[in-house]
């Protein structure tokens, strides 16, 4: 049976690695994109006005769904619009 001695430096190195792994997990989750965006999020993402967003809805360039009084836009549709233009 072999005995290993763990030093304070070993523990400090383990702590550093563990914290880095945890940070990477949180960073991965924060970069995930939501599937549905509200009008305000779309306006900010595309840097457009409310009127321009309304024009995109009216002419069918950007599809949307209305739930209650809130309009939602599919993120994949927005990506397609950006890639097309």
Q: What pLDDT tens digit does each residue of the chain (85 aa) get?
A: 788 889 999 999 999 998 888 887 776 554 456 789 999 999 998 899 999 999 999 999 999 999 999 999 999 998 888 888 6
Report the predicted TM-score, pTM, of the whole model to 2 decimal places. 0.59
pLDDT score for 28: 55
pLDDT score for 33: 67
How would you list the strands of the sheet with 36-38, edge to edge?
36-38, 70-74, 65-67
- Distances from the Cα of 19 to the Cα of 25, 28, 51, 63, angstroms: 10, 14, 46, 42
On the CB side of 16, how many CA atoms lie within 13 Å of its CA? 6
**Nearest one of 4, 13, 8, 74 to 39, comparing CA atoms:** 74
On the CB side of 83, how many CA atoms lie within 13 Å of its CA? 6
């Amino acid at each position: 049976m072999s005995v290993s001695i763990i030093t304070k430096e070993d523990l400090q190195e383990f702590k550093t690695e563990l914290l880095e792994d945890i940070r990477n997990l949180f960073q991965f989750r924060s970069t995930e994109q939501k599937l549905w965006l509200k009008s305000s999020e779309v306006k900010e993402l595309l840097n457009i006005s409310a009127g321009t967003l309304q024009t995109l809805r009216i002419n069918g360039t950007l599809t949307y769904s209305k739930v209650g009084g809130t309009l939602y836009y599919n993120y994949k549709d927005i990506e397609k619009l950006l890639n097309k233009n």
